């Protein structure tokens, strides 16, 4: 396999983007990636998207994106893995370049969630229809069950969950593309409306429109396009049961653990080598569980990480310096690519107020459903 580098990035603002269509968002992010790499050609396109057919009644997104990007004729493929669609699109692009099949491959992600669809119903398609949805379970409900299991097993409290949200908003306030650019206090989080006990409104990620893109090429060619390439050291993926009830331990995100283990093995690294990370915090409890599954802390110790500053900017392992899904926003098909954009900026030293000093190794972890799919990428500045 060839070594692969990111040579360009592009990303729209995240939020309720009423004046931009799905295709507008795709093109804006893709052009940003191409422009930053100084090229106008592509060999292939992968587009992560969860549910455009239900959100905006548009399927067959690959050709649509190629057409509106002015690249009709280029092979273009949509990738779907629920909220992990973006990360899986990046994995597909990485593998195509690594295999030697193509040199310039765009990995993008997009979602337009605010145009009138029943968002709760659309997102529920990522869970088990017969075992979960039929009985009325929603995604806040599923993650509330995960939170309850973690509380019962490890003594996690609602305040522990709330510190994750406080950190997310503190970071998001520094991100000019974030959906919510304001800090929140612990008291605000703990007094926000109850959604699915014990999860409150400010423990939950928002409904978001947005797109992001990264351009990949062989590492040996990267200097043709940028003087600051970022190498992709590893890509690890895994799956678990679709239904939360079929898992041995709801508090253990086993697909995250397995995808992380595979990525660490491929990179020849350990969790202690990671200097900055973006993980899938669709709900505050998800971030806590991801700390543990990725080996950043011991099992059961994730509840203390945000409160103690371990994962804050300036902490031992800064996590979600972008504001994460909670504050930056969560356009489900774009999230995994947006995570990669953040890590590339960190490793290039371009993160501004959110910069982790001296960061050379970064990680992204993108998850689908209640943890039924997970993909982890590890990056290195070169």
Catalytic site positions: 83, 330
Query: Residue 255 gets which letter from DSSP?
Result: H
310/315 Cα distance (integer angstroms): 5
Structural element, H or E, at residue 74? none
- 297-333 exposure pattern, b = at least 16 Cβ within 10 A, e = fewer: beeeebbbbbbeebbbbeeebbbbbbbbbbbbbbbbb
CA-CA-CA-CA torsion for 375, 126, 326, 363, nearest 10 degrees?
0
Nearest to 303 by CA among 315, 291, 314, 320: 291
Q: Is 234 exposed, middle or buried (0-12, 13-18, 19+ CB in 10 A)?
A: buried
Handedness of CA 342, 348, 354, 359 (dihedral sign): positive
Asked if residue 104 lies in contact with residue 74, where contact means CB atoms within 8 angstroms, the answer is no
Spatial distance between the Cα atoms of 17 and 328, rounded to a whole number of angstroms:
14
CA distance 87 to 93: 10
379 in Cβ contact with 136 (< 8 Å): no
Kindly report the number of other CB atoms within 10 A of residue 133's CB atom.
15
Structure tokens at 235: 């890509």
Beta strands in the chain (DSSP E): 4-11, 44-48, 76-79, 105-111, 194-196, 199-200, 210-218, 230-239, 276-278, 361-368, 373-381
DSSP-assigned letter for residue 214: E
Which three-class secondary structure state does DSSP give residue 62?
Answer: helix
């Amino acid at each position: 396999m060839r070594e692969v580098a990111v040579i360009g990035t592009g990303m729209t603002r995240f939020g309720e983007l009423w004046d931009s269509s799905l295709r507008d968002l795709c093109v804006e992010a893709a052009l940003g990636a191409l422009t930053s790499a100084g090229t106008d050609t592509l060999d292939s396109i992968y587009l992560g998207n969860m549910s455009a057919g239900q959100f905006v009644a548009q399927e067959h997104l690959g050709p649509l994106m190629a057409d509106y990007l002015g690249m009709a004729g280029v092979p273009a493929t949509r990738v779907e893995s629920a909220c992990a669609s973006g990360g899986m699109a990046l994995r597909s692009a990485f593998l195509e370049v690594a295999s030697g099949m193509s040199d310039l491959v765009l990995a993008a992600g997009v979602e337009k969630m605010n145009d009138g669809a029943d968002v709760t119903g659309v997102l529920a398609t990522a869970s088990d229809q017969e075992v979960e949805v039929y009985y009325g379970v929603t995604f806040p409900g599923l993650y509330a069950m995960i939170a309850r299991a973690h509380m019962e097993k490890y003594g996690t409290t609602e305040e522990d969950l709330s510190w994750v949200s406080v950190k997310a908003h503190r970071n998001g306030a520094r991100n000019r593309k974030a959906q919510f650019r304001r800090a929140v206090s612990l008291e605000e989080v703990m007094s926000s409306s109850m959604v699915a006990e014990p999860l409150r409104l400010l423990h939950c990620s928002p409904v978001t429109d947005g797109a992001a893109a990264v351009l990949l090429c062989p590492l040996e060619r990267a200097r043709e396009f940028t003087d600051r390439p970022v190498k992709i050291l590893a890509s690890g993926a895994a799956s678990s049961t679709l239904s939360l009830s079929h898992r041995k331990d709801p508090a253990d995100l086993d697909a995250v653990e397995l995808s992380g283990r595979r990525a660490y093995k491929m990179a020849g690294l350990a969790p202690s080598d990671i200097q900055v990370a973006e993980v899938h915090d669709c709900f505050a409890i998800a971030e806590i569980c991801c700390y543990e599954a990725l080996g950043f802390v011991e099992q059961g110790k994730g509840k203390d990480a945000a409160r103690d500053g371990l994962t804050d900017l300036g902490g031992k392992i800064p996590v979600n310096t972008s504001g994460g899904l909670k504050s930056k926003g969560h356009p489900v098909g774009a999230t995994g690519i947006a995570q990669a954009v953040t890590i590339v900026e960190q490793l290039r030293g371009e993160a501004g107020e959110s910069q982790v000093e001296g960061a050379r190794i970064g990680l992204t972890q993108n998850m689908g459903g209640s943890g039924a799919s997970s993909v982890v990428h590890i990056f290195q500045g070169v």
